[in-house]
Structure 1
Amino acid sequence: MLNLQVIIGSVRQGRGGLSVAEWFEEIARKDQRFSVERVDLAALNLPVMDEPNHPRLQQYTHDHTRRFSKLISRGDAYVFVTTEYNYSIPGALKNAMDYLSAEWAGKPMSTVAYGGISGAARAVEDLRRVAIALRMVPLVQGVVCPLYAQQRDEEGRFIGNPLQTAAAGEMLDALADFGSLLKSRRAMQ
């Protein structure tokens, strides 16, 4: 079984990412190929990157970095739930990604993007570039939720439409395929 980490990239109060993540997690939990672990950057409350050494050295000096390193190391595949801030990914997400290096490497990643009319498309492209620099394997399969607020019920829960639900299934298939392959490869190293 693969450990799928669902990383919520926005830390803003009242953020929509939590409801979008909960919708996706429900789909992923029904898939017997994954154990699903939520990584909520708002709960982690990482300070702006404050390590003196380059992350590739893994010579961490702060407990919050060591805890974050252990958490991310457990992941076999990542789904980043992100919105778009000023045509890019949220600063908290970029900061979290910059904290680590080896922990991300050799693992597949994809996105569930939500936002306005663009559905955070520009943020997804930025996120893929960062993922490549960190030696993750970005997948083409992903879920886009444009105008997501129109898909929230009275309690604020996000309700995906049939196309989004199908896209989530295709993404999970790709994550399972690449996740298993890359996990086997990491085990041989």
Structure 2
Amino acid sequence: MSSNASSSPLHVLVIVASTRPGRLGPAIADWFVQAALPAATAGGVTLDIADLADIGLPLLDEPEHPSSGIYAHEHTRAWSRRVAAADAFVVVTPEYNYGMPAALKNAFDFLYHEWAWKPVAFVSYGNTSAGTRSVQMAKQVVTTLKMMPIGATVALRIADSIHDGQVLQSAGLDEGARRMLLELTRVASAMRSLRTEPDSEVTGITGPVDGLRLTVAQPDDLAELLVLQRCCWVQEALANDTLDLPPLRETLDELRESMSTWQLWCVRRHGRLVAAVRARANEGAWLIGRLMVAPDQAGNGIGSWLLSYVEQQAPQKTARYELFTGHRSTRNIKLYERAGYTLNHGEGTPAGTVHLTKQRQPAASVR
């Protein structure tokens, strides 16, 4: 993982919380973006509107806990990609019966890690309270997701600020929107460093050599991970007499996209990325892929140690582990066989590869 916070431009996701017919949310979100655009442009900040009515999330329907990052449905993976790509959020929300819309709570609940260590600001609207009680409820939820609500807010009383479904022109309101965005992006810049040292570091795991640190992969890891992957698969290309290997063709954008469907782990030794692996649930199996160890670190037991760890991360209902490797990758095959895997000679294995499986042992009962 990079030790330096990313210097790329900040990306702010503006979330329209209301999904009901006749809602004011889209018009208020459009007003906010236009009012804040001069400040955003000057600061190199991108603004993107995510309308929950268009996104169309059903009531939370994922079988695994959101903190697992294992998503069965494409609508969840798509939402995960939108949220993970953001550095900060602006939530445009009305107040329903002293609280936030159910659609907003549901959108929060679908994900977990994607929200963490990012600031959030609120544009609320309503009648007597201008939607502020909705914001108070939402703040309790976002702090539990490790988000940071900033102090600056914009609260619109419909009778005073809305006419014919549009926000009235007001230099004061526009200035409030700009100031809120400036505070949000200032906090977002400061919080980037928190996301380079995630709370997902694995503790209590003793590695086979000194100085190992195992973490869930983060976006800032990916460029370095891609370099490691290509170094490792050069050996695979030589062993299998082909350069036509997916790990050698994968681009940084494709690797980034994979984070929405795979769980990725990185291993660093004294700060240097030396190993990685990914896994995902697949029809009752735990599919393990791209297990790699830097060539100069091979033979130290890191691969076996990492394989054992990733097996332990499988969902409770997993019946077996599965993985693929090159049909001439004898060193890999021997490693997997020592770990209890057997070659599966069934149909459907991609050309040039072998399929290995291992039955998961049931947990011992406690009496």
Look up the SS of the partner of 1:14 in the other structure. Answer: coil
Q: Answer yes or no: is the 8 Å Cα contact 2:14–2:92 preserved in 1.
A: yes
Structure-2 separation of matches of 1:160 and 1:50? 41
Report the counterpart of residue 259 of structure 2 in structure 1. none
Which residue of 61, 77, 81 maps to 2:72? 61
- 4+ runs deviating over 6 angstroms: none
Cα separation, partners in 2 of 1:149 and 1:39, compared to 1, 3 Å: farther
Which residue of 125, 142, 151 maps to 1:140? 151
Report the counterpart of residue 112 of structure 1 in structure 2. 123
Report the counterpart of residue 152 of structure 1 in structure 2. 162
Normalised to the residue count of structure 2, the TM-score between the two structures is 0.49
Report the counterpart of residue 13 of structure 1 in structure 2. 21
Q: Answer yes or no: is the 8 Å Cα contact 1:79–1:110 preserved in 2.
A: yes
Structure-1 separation of matches of 2:155 and 2:149? 15
Correspondence list, 1:172-187, <5 A: 172-187=181-196
Verify: 1:76 aligned to 2:87, yes or no.
yes
Q: Answer yes or no: is the 8 Å Cα contact 1:23–1:159 preserved in 2.
A: no
Paired letter, 2:33: E
Structure-1 separation of matches of 2:167 and 2:105? 25
Paired letter, 2:173: Q
Correspondence list, 1:126-137, <5 A: 126-137=137-148
**Superposed CA offset, 1:42-73 (max 9, x none):** 00110000001111110111111011101110
Look up the SS of the partner of 1:11 in the other structure. Answer: coil
Q: Answer yes or no: is the 8 Å Cα contact 2:35–2:175 preserved in 1.
A: no
Higher Cα radius of gyration: 2
Verify: 1:37 aligned to 2:42, yes or no.
no
Unaligned 5+ segments in structure 2 are 1-8, 199-367
Structure-2 separation of matches of 1:160 and 1:180? 30
Paired letter, 1:169: R
Q: Answer yes or no: is the 8 Å Cα contact 2:36–2:174 preserved in 1.
A: no
Paired letter, 1:87: Y
- Aligned residue pairs, count: 187
Post-superposition offset of 1:184: 3.4
Which residue of 78, 83, 96 maps to 1:85? 96
Paired letter, 1:151: S
Paired letter, 2:184: L
Unaligned 5+ segments in structure 1 are none
Post-superposition offset of 1:181: 1.1
Q: Answer yes or no: is the 8 Å Cα contact 1:151–1:158 preserved in 2.
A: yes
Report the counterpart of residue 123 of structure 1 in structure 2. 134
Structure-2 separation of matches of 1:22 and 1:149? 19
Normalised to the residue count of structure 1, the TM-score between the two structures is 0.93
Q: Answer yes or no: is the 8 Å Cα contact 1:23–1:160 preserved in 2.
A: no
Q: Answer yes or no: is the 8 Å Cα contact 1:28–1:36 preserved in 2.
A: no
- Point out the structure with the larger strand share: 2
Alignment identity in percent?
A: 37
The structure whose RCO (Cα within 8 Å, separation 6+) is larger is 1
Post-superposition offset of 1:158: 1.4
Look up the SS of the partner of 2:130 in the other structure. Answer: coil
Post-superposition offset of 1:165: 2.1
